[in-house]
């Protein structure tokens, strides 16, 4: 659990009793974000996808210590996602407001001379779509491959409220809209030396413990394998069919073990808060 947002503390997911937060136990957001193992793989995939946008990359590169503390960044991202999903309404709103304040300080100019601001509505939407797409793809790959198109659309509609709260606008809220959005964005994306360095950092990121090293590496490669083909091409990564099958085979089994091991995560605590678990 040390890689999850729970490791940072500061949120009591079990209080106040009966508070459903932003979403509630019957939503797709709770179902998708409640599967810890697929969320970890989706998080890796999301970061790689996000970093293909030069302005998103510049903001992280210039204003984050992720190169020295990748685990810390993953924990902070995990806390924001789990908190906005599973915490009480007050805690979720507090997290959103805190990130909005941080975003106001993240401004600059990228190496190509383009100004950026983390509070830019368009940039917020890019980060959100890359993240929600990746979480959903991972959930469908490793937990629920037969999730209906209507349910997928519902997921996108639900989670749009978070990026809207951060200041995003014109947010894609269906599978078709997300696919069209990616097609519009592709001319903007690029892979340069710094993007490749992010890939290298992820591949060599330290694990929370020695025993977790092989699992961590598997999750990184699972995240890579989940990327759409055009993103893999942009990153210059090729995977043979046998590699894909091997990653899929191993991750499914590791995912089952993690689901058994994680018995008191954010989802479990939130479910107790709303009276769904003893």
Cα–Cα distance, 74 to 80 (Å, whole number)? 10
99 Cβ neighbours under 8 A, 6+ residues apart: 80, 166
Q: Please give the average per-residue pLDDT across 44-50, as a whole number.
A: 95
Helix (H) / strand (E) element for 108: namely strand 107-109
CA-wise closest residue to 220 among 239, 242, 193: 239
Residue count (the chain) = 278
Cα–Cα distance, 18 to 76 (Å, whole number)? 26
List 108's β-bridge partners, or say none: 116
- Global confidence as pTM: 0.94
**231-255 pLDDT, tens per residue?**
999 999 999 999 999 999 999 999 9
Of the pLDDT bands very low, low, confident and very high (cuts 50, 70, 90), residue 6 is: low
Quote the pLDDT of residue 7: 57
**67-99 pLDDT, tens per residue?**
777 777 777 888 899 999 999 999 999 999 999
Kindly tell me if the per-residue pLDDT of 266 is higher than 70: yes
Of the pLDDT bands very low, low, confident and very high (cuts 50, 70, 90), residue 2 is: very low
């Amino acid at each position: 659990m040390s890689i999850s947002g729970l490791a940072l503390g500061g949120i009591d997911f079990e209080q106040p009793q009966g508070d459903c937060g932003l979403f509630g136990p019957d939503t797709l957001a709770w179902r998708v974000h409640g599967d810890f193992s697929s969320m970890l793989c989706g998080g890796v995939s999301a970061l790689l996808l996000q970093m293909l946008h030069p302005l998103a990359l510049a903001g992280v590169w210039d204003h984050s210590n992720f190169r020295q503390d990748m685990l810390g960044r993953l924990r902070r991202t995990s806390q924001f996602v789990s908190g906005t999903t599973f915490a009480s309404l007050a805690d979720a709103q507090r997290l959103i407001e805190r990130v909005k304040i941080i975003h106001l300080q993240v401004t600059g100019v990228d190496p190509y001379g383009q100004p950026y601001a983390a509070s830019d509505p368009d940039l917020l939407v890019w980060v959100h779509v890359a993240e929600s797409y990746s979480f959903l793809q991972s959930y469908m790959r490793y937990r629920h491959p037969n999730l209906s198109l209507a349910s997928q659309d519902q997921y996108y509609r639900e989670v749009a409220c978070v990026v809207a709260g951060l200041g995003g606008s014109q947010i894609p809220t269906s599978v078709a809209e997300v696919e069209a959005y990616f097609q519009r964005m592709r001319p903007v994306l690029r892979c340069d030396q710094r993007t490749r360095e992010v890939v290298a950092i992820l591949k060599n990121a330290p694990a929370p413990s020695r025993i977790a090293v092989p699992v961590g590496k598997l999750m990184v490669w699972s995240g890579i394998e989940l990327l759409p083909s055009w993103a893999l091409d942009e990153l210059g990564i090729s995977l043979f069919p046998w590699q894909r099958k091997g990653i899929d085979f191993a991750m499914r089994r590791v995912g089952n073990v993690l689901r058994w091991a994680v018995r008191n995560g954010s989802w479990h605590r939130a479910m107790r808060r709303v009276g769904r678990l003893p």
